[in-house]
Structure formats: C-alpha cells, structure tokens
C-alpha cells in the first residue's frame, strides 16, 4: 500500500465501466427477447446462464420453509434485529403532503405519493446478500410502496440462498422470482406472463445488470449505476493502526476494483498502517481479491495538516468516510461530501453495512458530491398542487399573459384571458 503526498490530480473518480460493445449488444438483444417472448425467454436464459431449468420462477412456501431449516435461529434473530434498526431509521425520513392557503384564497401545496410497484434485484453468484434485501426493501415499505417484487439468480439446482429467502420472508416480501441478469431487469421493466412490470428497479448487480438498467431507464426509474465500493479513512495520531488497517481491508475484500484510502497528517500512523495492512493480508480468506484492490486502488495520503486532510476528503467525496480523530464531532460540520460518515473509533464501516440502521446503498465514484444514499425519498414521487382563486387570477392575469407573450406563446396568454371574457374583464 503506497504512501503518497497529496497532488492536484487527487481523485476517487475512476472510469465508469460502460461495458464493451459486445456486452451492450448482448444486453439489448436479451431485453428485446424478453419483451417479445416473456416467460419463454426467461426460461431459456436461466438455463443458459444459471444452468437451471425452471418451469415456475416464483419461490414457493415450501422453499421458504426449507430456507429456515438451513439458518440457525440466532442468525434469524440477528436479521430481524437489523431490520428493526433499519426500519426505525428510515421511518424518521418520511415526508408529508402539505397545503398552504394564501390571503387571496389561492391554495398551493405538494402531494407525496408512494410508487405503485418496485422491483428489487438481489445479486447472486458465489455470495449471498441478505443485507441487500433489507436495505432495498425496507425504505420502499416505509414509503408505502404497494407491491414489492424481488428477483435473484438461482444456482444450478434452481435455488436461492437461504439467507436471502429468510430476510425477504422476515420483511413480508411474498413475490420472489428466481430470475437474474439482464433478463430479470427486462422482466421487471416490460412484464411477462408471470411477472407484472414495476415502476422502478433498485439493487446492485454485475455489468450486465447495470447495462440493462441503463437501457430500460425512462421506461422505468432506476436507483443508480453503482461503481465499485470505496472507503476513505480520515485519521490522526490517536487512531489505532491495526483497526485502521482492518477497516481498509473490509472494503478491499469486496472487489478487485474496490478502493481503500487513508488520509492522515501523521507520518508515523501512515507507516504503521502500511505494515499492518501487509500483515493482515497474510491471513485474510479473500486475500487475492483484497491484495489486487490494495495494489491497484489503495493508497495512504500524508498531508501537511488536519485541515488539509479535510480538504482532501471533500475532494474525494467517498462512498464511506470514517473519521478517526481525537474529536471527530468537531470535524463533522466541515465534511461536505460523503455518502455515509462514520464518527469515532467504534463506528467501523461494517456497522453501517449490516446493523446500525442507515442505508448501505450509497453514491460511489465521487458522486457523493451531488447525490445521496438510497432512502424513503427514493420510493415516492411528488406532485405540485395549484388551486388559484378568482381573486388571485384577476390580480395576476395580465402579468401571466404578458409573460406568455414574452415567450411568443399567444395561446398561453389567451387561455388565461378567456376566463374573463364573459365578464368583460381584462
């Protein structure tokens, strides 16, 4: 893990993976096929890509029951407690509709309406992600979404991970389909004989899922095109090197493209953390992945002062930011750009990944400079309410008509003036 001085080129932004031309063409072909052939196409692609031949995509009650038999009760209790923490946090985000009445009788307001239907994509592969189920489903439920559909790629036996099924069942999600990849995105966007279409698709996936979400955006809404995970740790001499190294590696083991960065004005801490990372890598089960991440996207930046460290952090705009200093709360007001901010020694990043309550679906690749975590707001839409009174229109009609004519829109002007022709006004 290299120790570097800060440069003007410092940035977390990496080239977004838009896939190859061949990958994009494959995704477009799959989407078109799903739109045309529906379930028949889903079966073909599930067999081709997942090795499972399925007649019925929907997860049965029997499969849910078997999932509980594979998970220890203590783990089910942990999932339930995590869900309660996440729900409590998101309940505090709910926004209300409002109307204000002005003295002239005009009423203006905003109506907040939950989306009718949302699709949650849960990635498969070699790992299971029940935490992804919790983080995507719960804010949608709190928002009041009427129908929540979950899709996930099956294994060769046509099964989904037990942890994923248990998490979904604990939340009351009863529409779960064993479909993955671009074909799942197509099913959620266009609908098939079995899967009715949704209004928005959320959840992480591989490059084919990301490309498919990008293609269907506009027909449906999507959460974001997420990049590889990243962490930045802002630390001073009070930080414990072994803990800082462990937290850096907690992100590095995610993905070979993940980024783990320490920013500090303490040279001693920098060198000690560097040695700790090397030592801890030796016994890490996912060593090869973490090592590739650290070598290609890991770094330790040594600054001249704590103030410069804060400036560097704001420039990086990381997905996860840990502030491990003598007085982390004193720096909170100076942090402008970060997806999630973890304050103090005991706020290790995995606390947020699984249990604390805030959402772990966060802006990546420097986009925390202008975007926010997945939230209840992600699952509602807002309508403006306008009820103009006669008195208000009489007072403002000429102004509105003049504004319309300024833009060359005569019909707009006449539409307002037509209200008063019978009365000989205006």
Active site residues: 319-320
Give the neighbor-by-neighbor strand order of the sheet with 117-121.
176-177, 147-151, 117-121, 200-202, 221-222
Is residue 280 within 8 Å of 252, Cβ to Cβ?
A: no
Query: Is 360 marked within a binding site?
Result: no
Helix (H, G, I), strand (E, B) or coil at 60: coil
Helix (H) or strand (E) segment spanning residue 177: strand 176-177
Those residues with Cβ within 8 angstroms of residue 94's Cβ, 6 or more apart along the chain or in another chain: 142, 143, 376
Query: Is 305 marked within a binding site?
Result: no
DSSP letter string, 146-161: SEEEEE----TTS---
Helix (H, G, I), strand (E, B) or coil at 26: helix
Query: Is 255 marked within a binding site?
Result: no
Strand 230-235 with 221-222, pairing:
unpaired
Crossing angle of the two packed helices 162-171 and 130-143, in degrees rounded to 10: 20
Query: Is 337 marked within a binding site?
Result: no
Question: Which residues lie across from 220 on neighbouring strands?
Answer: 217
Query: Is 407 marked within a binding site?
Result: yes
Query: Is 334 marked within a binding site?
Result: no
Query: Is 242 marked within a binding site?
Result: no
- Interatomic CA distance for residues 48 and 154, integer angstroms: 12
- Interatomic CA distance for residues 163 and 38, integer angstroms: 29
Query: Is 77 marked within a binding site?
Result: no
How far, CA to CA in Å, does 309 sit from each of 12, 118, 246, 293?
Answer: 15, 40, 20, 22
Query: Is 240 marked within a binding site?
Result: no
Beta strands in 18-153 (DSSP E): 98-101, 107-114, 117-121, 147-151
Tokens 């070699």, located at residue: 126
Query: Is 183 marked within a binding site?
Result: yes
DSSP letter string, 251-315: HHTT-TT-EEEEEES-HHHHHHHHHHHHHHHTT-TTHHHHHHHHHHH-EEEE-SSHHHHHHHHHH
**Beta-carbon count within 10 A of 31 CB:** 22
**Beta-carbon count within 10 A of 308 CB:** 15
Residue 100, token pair as written in the block: 């204000």
Which residues line the annotated binding site for substrate?
229, 251, 254, 320, 353, 407, 412
Which residues line the annotated binding site for Zn(2+)?
251, 254, 353, 412
Which residues line the annotated binding site for NAD(+)?
121, 183, 206
Which residues line the annotated binding site?
121, 183, 206, 229, 251, 254, 320, 353, 407, 412
């Amino acid at each position: 893990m290299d120790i570097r001085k800060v440069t003007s080129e410092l940035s977390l932004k990496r080239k977004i993976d838009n896939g190859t031309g061949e990958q994009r063409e494959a995704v477009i072909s799959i989407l078109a096929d799903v739109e045309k052939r529906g379930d028949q196409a889903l079966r073909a692609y599930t067999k081709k890509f997942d090795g499972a031949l399925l007649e019925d995509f929907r997860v049965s009650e029997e499969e849910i029951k078997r999932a509980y038999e594979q998970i220890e009760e203590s783990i089910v209790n942990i999932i339930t407690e995590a869900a309660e923490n996440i729900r409590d946090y998101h309940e505090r985000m709910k926004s209300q509709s409002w109307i204000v009445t002005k003295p002239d009788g005009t009423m203006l307001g905003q109506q907040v309406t939950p989306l009718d239907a949302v699709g949650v994509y849960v990635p498969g592969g070699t790992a299971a992600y029940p935490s992804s189920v919790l983080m995507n489903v719960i804010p949608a439920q709190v928002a009041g979404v009427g129908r929540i559909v979950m899709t996930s790629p099956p294994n060769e036996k046509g099964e989904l991970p037990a942890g994923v099924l248990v998490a979904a069942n604990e939340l009351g999600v009863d529409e779960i389909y064993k479909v993955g990849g671009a074909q799942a995105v197509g099913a959620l966007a266009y609908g098939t004989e079995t899967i009715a279409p949704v209004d928005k698709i959320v959840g992480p996936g591989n490059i084919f899922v990301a490309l498919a979400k990008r293609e269907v955006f506009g027909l449906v809404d999507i959460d974001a095109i997420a990049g590889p995970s990243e962490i930045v740790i802002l630390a001073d001499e009070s930080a414990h090197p072994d803990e800082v190294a462990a937290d850096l590696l907690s992100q590095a083991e995610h993905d070979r493209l993940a980024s783990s960065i320490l920013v500090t004005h303490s040279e001693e801490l920098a060198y000690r953390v560097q040695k700790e990372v090397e030592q801890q890598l030796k016994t890490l089960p996912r060593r090869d992945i973490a090592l590739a991440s650290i070598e290609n996207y890991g770094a330790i930046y040594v600054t001249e002062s704590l103030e410069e460290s804060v400036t560097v952090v704001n420039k990086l705009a990381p997905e996860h930011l840990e502030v491990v200093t003598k007085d982390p709360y004193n720096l909170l007001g100076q942090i402008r750009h970060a997806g999630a901010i973890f304050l103090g020694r005991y706020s290790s990043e995995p606390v947020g990944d699984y249990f604390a309550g805030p959402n772990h679906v966060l802006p990546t690749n420097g986009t925390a400079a202008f975007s926010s975590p997945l939230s209840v707001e992600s699952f509602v839409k807002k309508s403006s309410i306008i009820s103009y009174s006669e008195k208000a229109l009489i007072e403002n009609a000429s102004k509105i008509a003049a504004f319309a004519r300024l833009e060359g829109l005569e019909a707009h002007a006449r539409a307002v003036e037509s209200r008063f022709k019978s009365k000989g006004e205006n």
